[in-house]
Amino acid sequence: MASRALLSVKVCPGIRQVSMAHLDLDERQIERARKAAGNIADSVLRFAKEHSTVAIERAVLRLMGVEGADADGVPLPNRVVDVALKEGILGRGIALYFGNCLSKVGDPVETAKAIADKKIGLKEDFSDDRARDEAEKALKKGIARIRETVERRRALLEKLGDGGTRPLLYVIVATGNIFEDVVQAKVAARAGAQVVAIIRSTAQSLLDYVPEGITTTGYGGTYATQANFRVMRQALDEISFELGRYVRQCNYASGLCMPEMAVLGAFERLDVMLNDALYGILFRDINMQRTLIDQAFSRVVSAAGEIIINTGEDNYLTTADAVSAAHTVLASNFINEAIGKRCGLKDWQLGLGHAMQMNPMMEDMFLLEVAQAQMIRQIFKDCPIKYMPPTKYMTGNIFRGHVQDAMFGLASVITKQGIHLVGIMTEAMHTPHIHDRFLALEAQGMVMNMARHLGDEIEFKKGGIIERRAQEVLKKAMEMLEQIEKEGLFTALEQGRFANVRRSFTGGRGLEGVFKKEEGYFDAVEDLLLKSLEGQDETMGARG
């Protein structure tokens, strides 16, 4: 049942879905959990505010108009930041020094080339006032570019809608060749996909630069580049007009280039981006300081770009037991919600993750999964919750896999999830083929259509298995958050509180790219981005 605000938008009923079925959850425990999560978020963001990273400084250059690479293929943002590092001046922020040079050269790309080729020095004839003025002018142009993409998305959704049905059916393509991805994406859209995610090439998250240009090779996925984003955006716009409904594009704002990816996604009108520091810490061993600082900046950019972020809690239960560790997913959801909102994201942009990962051979497994799904849907009622399929227990038995995915679809439609990552029966064997994806979309569409309003017709037994399970998980999540509130998120990550994975405060990849801001650091970037949010429609989830 959509809210009145969402119903006022005729073209599309919104991502929010609220089930008529209701679990009796202790609102005081939810309030305590949110309070603890808020204090955790404040502590993390205070730390982030005092620091920057090489990736944030490169993202700032991209906002100022720097793009392209040198003759050796090294991205120009990397070249400029490397110069500032060697000269020991990055502590005040690259925007100031680049603004100073920009005032003399005029064009951002030519300015970057001149700095890289040492034709002009970052400190040459430096004027603080002139540098700030030029930096702000260039940044405002970049932010205006983001706003143009936002308005274009709004116009397309107003004109085409997005099909209206919820949850949105989300599928992946992952060929390594962007042009082959386009073929598969169009086929998937014609088969019913509403969100197409282009899986990133294996280990790209560990590259400390963004590859340049169109790519046709990649292992386990396709390189995420600005040019590839643009190719897919054009293709999905074409299929959107063919089908008469807007098809959303998804990629990654994560890894060592998280801030830059957020900027490029905002420039090229990506609609959904995977964005979660905890995922990078736990599953990619990216240093926790580095990626939590990067995440704060990237979420401000995503807020300005009206991008829906997806968080990675759905992966926790691939390494931890889904029954005993379910509360860690909910606890992380609360933390991601708190950090996201403090970075300017609205409820409709918070695609908090969870997954159906219990052993399908366990008695009453489906009841416990419905409890988890309904609980999360109910607590985050205005968020487009992202539900991940049962990948952990997929095998070479594609028939059993198809049944598991059908049950997953039933749980999803009963509890009215926002974004449904379509499970594909062959994913345990190989990268799915076009026909595998077609069969999966057909099955999910059938299950959801036949049970579309089942959640409005049922009630959960008071004190029954489902309700007791949800109450237990909520209580454990609240207690976990209050413990993390006392010890700090960094300590919790060191102790392996999430996904049974321990990480070091000073270990992992990327720590060398972290630095403390010096006095006089140019701190206007996030302020300008947040200012661009003024007047943003609180109910844009109806369209975006």
From the CB of residue 270, how many other CB atoms can be counted at a distance below 10 Å? 29
C-beta of residue 171 within 8 angstroms of C-beta of residue 422: yes
C-beta of residue 99 within 8 angstroms of C-beta of residue 61: no
Q: How far apart are CA 146 and CA 142, in angstroms?
A: 7
Whether residue 279 lies in the annotated active site: yes
Q: Which residues, 6 or more positions from 506, have their beta carbon under 8 angstroms from its beta carbon?
A: 287, 289
From the CB of residue 339, how many other CB atoms can be counted at a distance below 10 Å? 28
Beta-strand relationship, 51-53 and 514-516:
antiparallel
Candidates 314, 347, 382, 405; catalytic one: 314
Tokens describing residue 149: 């993409």
C-beta of residue 142 within 8 angstroms of C-beta of residue 65: yes
C-beta of residue 240 within 8 angstroms of C-beta of residue 96: no
Tokens describing residue 167: 């949850």
Q: How far apart are CA 261 and CA 14, in angstroms?
A: 26
Sign, Cα dihedral of 235, 240, 243, 249? positive
C-beta of residue 99 within 8 angstroms of C-beta of residue 88: no
300: closest CA among 517, 531, 41, 83?
531
* Enclosing H/E stretch for 131: helix 128-160
Tokens describing residue 51: 């620091």
Tokens describing residue 504: 């070091």
Q: Which residue has the tokens 């116009």?
A: 155
CA atoms within 13 A of residue 338's CA, in its CB half-sphere: 24
Sign, Cα dihedral of 209, 210, 215, 217? positive
Q: What is the DSSP letter of 222?
A: B
Whether residue 314 lies in the annotated active site: yes
Candidates 97, 252, 279, 521; catalytic one: 279
Order the strands of the 248-252 sheet from edge to edge.
Answer: 350-351, 308-310, 272-274, 248-252, 195-198, 168-173, 419-421, 386-388, 353-355
Candidates 386, 387, 393, 416; catalytic one: 386
For 136, counting Cβ atoms within 10 Å of its Cβ (0-12 exposed, 13-18 middle, 19+ buried), the class is middle
189: closest CA among 438, 387, 419?
438
CA distances from 187 to 207, 231, 448 (A): 31, 16, 20
* Residues annotated catalytic, as ranges: 279, 314, 386
